[in-house]
Amino acid sequence: MKTFYIETYGCQMNFYDSQVIDDVLQGMGLRKVASAEMSDLILINTCSVRDNAEQRVRGRINQLWGERVARRQEGMIGLLGCMAQRLGESLLQEKHSRLDFVVGTDQYQRLPEIIDLALQKKPSLYFTDFDHVVTYEARPKQMPPGGSHYLAVMHGCDKFCSYCIVPFTRGRERSKPMEIILREARSISEAGGFEITLLGQTISSYQHGGDDFVSLLRNVSCIDGIKRIRFMTSYPTDLNEQVFDAIADLPKVENRIHLPVQSGSDRVLRKMNRHYDLAQYEAILLAGRERIDGLQFSTDLIVGFPGEQEDDFQATLQLMERQKFVSSFLFKYSPREGTLACRSEDDVPESVKSERLARLMELQEATTVRLLQAQVGEELEILLDEESKKAKNQLRGRTRNNMRVIVDPKKGTAIGDFAVARITGFKGGTLTGELL
């Protein structure tokens, strides 16, 4: 066992965790490789939030296993992440299980010992105990290249929205000690990183010792070399005037907030166990907009929650029309075993879910186009953060409220620099501009 390969699905938290896993495995002398073909050990870090995420991984496991058999190659496959946590031992007992071991979200530090046991061909290797205190730390040598990095500041979730599996796959909410966060942020900066995305399932409820979300933003802002700070995901009722004032006050902190609303209907919100109604949610958006210049909100929405009627859905459409989210992540409700909502019948037909989803997408696209259109001719400050993925020799920058702008480089400007761009147009969801 010399090499490993890791494939990551799902949210940013999983990508962060995969960095931690890289570190643990490299610490035991394994070398990371870029393809399954070259690796002795294949790891898959998984997501359980919707059923299609799990089905995709199941297909992928079979494919990887089949390819390995065809190559007559020895090796192991280990499953990690939310699906491992949720299904545990049952994954190993399935008839055609291709897995050698299963490791849940709180057990990554034990991977060396687990891999050792797997090498000894011990049966039933599943490790899914929760450890209600563990938090992880990613070290700079494992950081992927580039200026932007994730930094998890919390793990778990205590909100128990009725549709959501996360409280069951990630356990109780816990915040990482401030000194560890700052150590990590400093090492990101020392390794050449200039943008940090702070991660937590409900990040605005960060609390450790005397520290809260506001002191977190203030402290990370003090780190030299870090030029921009993003954070996600916020829970609506955790945002208050102090948080908005801090964002307004701290120029490094992005003025875009991802604030999932999930539905525009009070009846549905109640059944989702979201602890606010529509009026409260919109009052929070208003308070933010009053305090922070140029603030943009993005959101998440679920269509087809059990019992969702046409008028509930209309309320969601009207909310989107009123609030003009800069972007939204739109999902069809997917029942998750063990959640409260799963006890109700999944009674909105698939065809209705698809149709509602399409209507939301259409409205979002129209809104996004209008917001982009309004930027044409403006001069915007951007932080150049990477080479354009699509256009050769061009750079991508992002405004403080996270609008992407593609520009031609100019002499003397480099990735990691601030620059001012005059916006000339847009393509897809991205602005185009010229540097001044």
Sites of contact with ligand SF4 (CB under 6 A):
157, 159-161, 164, 166-167, 201-202, 235
Question: Closest separation between CB of residue 300 and ligand 5AD, Å?
Answer: 3
Partner that binds at residue 114, options ligand 5AD, ligand SF4, none, CB closer than 5 to 8 Å by kind: none
36-95 residues in contact with ligand 5AD (CB under 6 A) are: 49-50
- Which residue, 66, 67, 60, 27, is CA-closest to 43? 60
Question: Closest separation between CB of residue 300 and ligand SF4, Å?
Answer: 8
Among 333, 360, 431, 435, binds ligand 5AD (CB under 6 A): 333
Partner that binds at residue 234, options ligand SF4, ligand 5AD, none, CB closer than 5 to 8 Å by kind: none
Among 4, 297, 325, 331, binds ligand 5AD (CB under 6 A): 331
Contact 398, 423 (CB under 8 A): no
Question: Closest separation between CB of residue 153 and ligand 5AD, Å?
Answer: 18
User: Which CB atom, from 11 or from 77, has the smaller least distance to ligand 5AD?
Assistant: 11
Partner that binds at residue 167, options ligand SF4, ligand 5AD, none, CB closer than 5 to 8 Å by kind: ligand SF4
Beta-carbon contacts of residue 348 (< 8 Å; ≥ 6 apart):
303, 304, 305, 306, 307, 308, 333
What strands lie across the sheet with 126-127, from one edge to the other?
31-32, 3-8, 41-46, 76-81, 101-103, 126-127
Among 162, 327, 334, 430, binds ligand 5AD (CB under 6 A): 334
Q: Which two tokens stand for residue 389?
A: 């993925």
Region of 134-142, 327-335, 364-372, 421-429 interacting with ligand 5AD (CB under 6 A) = 327-335
Rg (CA), the chain: 22
Partner that binds at residue 157, options ligand 5AD, ligand SF4, none, CB closer than 5 to 8 Å by kind: ligand SF4
Region of 52-60, 95-103, 310-318, 331-339 interacting with ligand 5AD (CB under 6 A) = 331-339
User: Which CB atom, from 44 or from 164, has the smaller least distance to ligand SF4?
Assistant: 164
Q: Is 327 in the site for ligand 5AD (CB under 6 A)?
A: no
Beta-carbon contacts of residue 7 (< 8 Å; ≥ 6 apart):
36, 42, 43, 44, 45, 60
Question: Closest separation between CB of residue 336 and ligand 5AD, Å?
Answer: 5
Three-state SS letters, the chain: CCEEEEEECCCHHHHHHHHHHHHHHHHCCCEECCCHHHCCEEEEEECCCCHHHHHHHHHHHHHHHHHHHHCCCCCEEEEEEHHHHHHCHHHHHCCCCCCCEEECCCCHHHHHHHHHHHHCCCCCCEECCCCCCCCCCCCHHHCCCCCEEEEECEECCCCCCCCCCHHHHCCCCEECCHHHHHHHHHHHHHCCCCEEEEECCCHHHCEECCEEHHHHHHHHHCCCCCCEEEEECCCHHHCCHHHHHHHHHCCCECCEEECCCECCCHHHHHHCCCCCCHHHHHHHHHHHHHHCCCCEEEEEEEECCCCCCHHHHHHHHHHHHHHCCCEEEEEECCCCCCCCHHHCCCCCCHHHHHHHHHHHHHHHHHHHHHHHHCCCCCEEEEEEEEECCCCCCCEEEECCCCCEEEECCCCCCCCCCEEEEEEEEEECCEEEEEEC
Q: Is 297 in the site for ligand 5AD (CB under 6 A)?
A: no
Question: Closest separation between CB of residue 11 and ligand 5AD, Å?
Answer: 7
User: Which CB atom, from 33 or from 342, has the smaller least distance to ligand 5AD?
Assistant: 342
Among 84, 302, 320, 395, binds ligand 5AD (CB under 6 A): 302
In the stretch 136-175, what mask flags binding to ligand 5AD with x, by CB under 6 A?
---------------------------xx-----------
Question: Closest separation between CB of residue 173 and ligand SF4, Å?
Answer: 8
Q: How many residues can be counted in the chain? A: 436
Question: Closest separation between CB of residue 166 and ligand SF4, Å?
Answer: 4
Question: Closest separation between CB of residue 203 and ligand 5AD, Å?
Answer: 13
Q: Is 235 in the site for ligand 5AD (CB under 6 A)?
A: no
Contact 304, 348 (CB under 8 A): yes
Region of 88-96, 101-109, 213-221, 329-337 interacting with ligand 5AD (CB under 6 A) = 329-337
241-270 residues in contact with ligand 5AD (CB under 6 A) are: 260, 262
Question: Closest separation between CB of residue 334 and ligand 5AD, Å?
Answer: 4
Partner that binds at residue 202, options ligand SF4, ligand 5AD, none, CB closer than 5 to 8 Å by kind: ligand SF4
Question: Closest separation between CB of residue 163 and ligand 5AD, Å?
Answer: 4
Point out which residues bind ligand 5AD (CB under 6 A): 49-50, 163-164, 260, 262, 300, 302, 331, 333-334, 336
